[in-house]
Amino acid sequence: MAETRKTKLLIIGSGPAGYTAGVYASRAMLDPILVQGIEPGGQLTTTTEVENWPGDSEVQGPDLMLRMEAHAKAMGTEIIGDIITDLDLSKRPFTATGDSGTKYVADAVILATGARAKWLGLDTEEKFKGFGVSACATCDGFFYRGQEIVVIGGGNTAVEEALFLTNFASKVTLVHRRDELRAEKILIDRLEKNPKIAPLWFNQLEEVYGTDSPLGVEGIKVKNVKTGEITDIPCKGVFVAIGHAPANELVKDTLETHMGGYVVTKPDSTETSIPGVFAAGDLTDHKYRQAVTSAGMGCMAALEAERFLAETDPT
Ligand SMILES: Cc1cc2nc3c(=O)[nH]c(=O)nc-3n(C[C@H](O)[C@H](O)[C@H](O)COP(=O)(O)OP(=O)(O)OC[C@H]3O[C@@H](n4cnc5c(N)ncnc54)[C@H](O)[C@@H]3O)c2cc1C
């Protein structure tokens, strides 16, 4: 028979936001349950070196996430390997249903389901992910100091990433399928004035190539969408910048969202449009999308959930 688990606080997601919420909620004696989802540890488990987590000049993403999990567990968070497939936020207590069949009944919920970079879906893109292919200039730009790199895309994300990457790279080639950018005018002006950026119009990525041992990118092949001509571009880094999608499937019909599906929270807060439901990390953040900002929001969500529970269920 399906099990029912009652908890004061259910945390959905096991990235930096979820685990940090677990640490703070446990230390506030809320005995939280945290459901990990399909990707225990979240996005950082898909990368190698992380060089901007305070306190670690270099740490492997998967190791950092194992440490966060151990920390949350040591403080008292119950961590469960399950995926929430349905979330009923229409009345309190809220009810979440797990893929395992377990029902989680919670007085408050922290949503920390993160976001996903959009990828092109090429086999060679997959092969070099984390080894020269990235979707995050803030995270990985520093690795390409003085090198030639390529940005794929033509929207705001691509233009912002290309501009940011000129801080490190000797040259940035912007590969776009059309001959005009879908970005804010001010960003396009900056891009056009930047001598390090060379746009390559009417081209799309066909293949990333490089070495196998050690795994690393040496260049890409792009195809002209009008003529079919293939061009070889030697480069050390490829940034796929075609946007991000928040993992909002559980709440997209019940909570207010904006900017392409990111959950709206009140200013300076993780409160959503439903009292008792808090959202933290990349799920709400179309702007920074970093581990440390997600962790910060996880902390805020736990503190706000604790205050909410103290006010509404004072026993
Ligand atoms: C390749 C790569 C490299 C990066 N490098 C860096 C870096 O160097 N520095 C940096 O600061 N940031 C980096 N980032 C960004 C950083 O990983 C994210 O900003 C951060 O992980 C977001 O944390 P989060 O807790 O919001 O969610 P995520 O890390 O996205 O975690 C989401 C969690 O929610 C869970 N989940 C989703 N749906 C459900 C469900 N239905 N039920 C239960 N659980 C669910 C998932 O299993 C996952 O555990 C990188 C990202 C990528 C992809």
Which pLDDT value is given to residue 52? 92
The answer to whether 114 touches 11, Cβ cutoff 8 Å, is: no
Which pLDDT value is given to residue 315? 59
Q: Residue 230 is which amino acid?
A: I
CA of 35 to the centre of ligand 1 (A): 14
Which pLDDT value is given to residue 65? 98
Q: Which atom of ligand 1 is nearest to the CA of 38?
A: 47
Residues pairing with 230 in the sheet: 223
Ligand 1, atom 14, residue with closest C-alpha:
290
The answer to whether 47 touches 61, Cβ cutoff 8 Å, is: yes
Q: Pairing between strand 262-263 and 257-258? A: antiparallel
The answer to whether 205 touches 122, Cβ cutoff 8 Å, is: yes
The answer to whether 37 touches 43, Cβ cutoff 8 Å, is: no
Give the CA distances from residue 234 to residues 134, 210, 215, in Å, rounded to whole numbers and listed in that order: 16, 10, 16
CA of 261 to the centre of ligand 1 (A): 16
Structural domains of the chain sorted by starting position, each given as residue range(s) with its CATH number in brackets = 4-116+245-312 (3.50.50.60), 119-240 (3.50.50.60)
The answer to whether 104 touches 5, Cβ cutoff 8 Å, is: yes
Which pLDDT value is given to residue 183? 84
Q: Which atom of ligand 1 is nearest to the CA of 289?
A: 19
Residue 10's φ and ψ, nearest 5 degrees, are: -105, 125
Mean pLDDT by 10 residues, the chain (315 residues): 92 98 98 96 88 94 97 98 97 97 98 94 95 92 95 92 95 96 90 96 97 96 97 97 93 94 97 97 94 98 98 76
Could you read off the pLDDT of 23-33 as tens digits, one per residue? 999 999 999 99
Q: Which two tokens stand for residue 159?
A: 């233009």
Which residue, chain included where needed, has tokens 């408050």? 108
CA of 44 to the centre of ligand 1 (A): 6
Q: Which atom of ligand 1 is nearest to the CA of 117?
A: 53
Pocket of ligand 1 (CB under 6 A): 12-18, 35-40, 42-44, 46-47, 50, 52, 83-84, 112-115, 117, 130, 135-136, 139, 247, 250, 281-283, 289-292, 294
Residue 200 CB partners (closer than 8 Å, separation 6+): 173, 174, 175, 176, 222, 231, 233
Annotated catalytic residues are: 136, 139-140
Using only C-alpha atoms, the chain has a radius of gyration, in whole angstroms, of 21
Gap between the Cα atoms of 118 and 128, Å rounded: 15
Q: Residue 84 is which amino acid?
A: I
Which pLDDT value is given to residue 1? 63
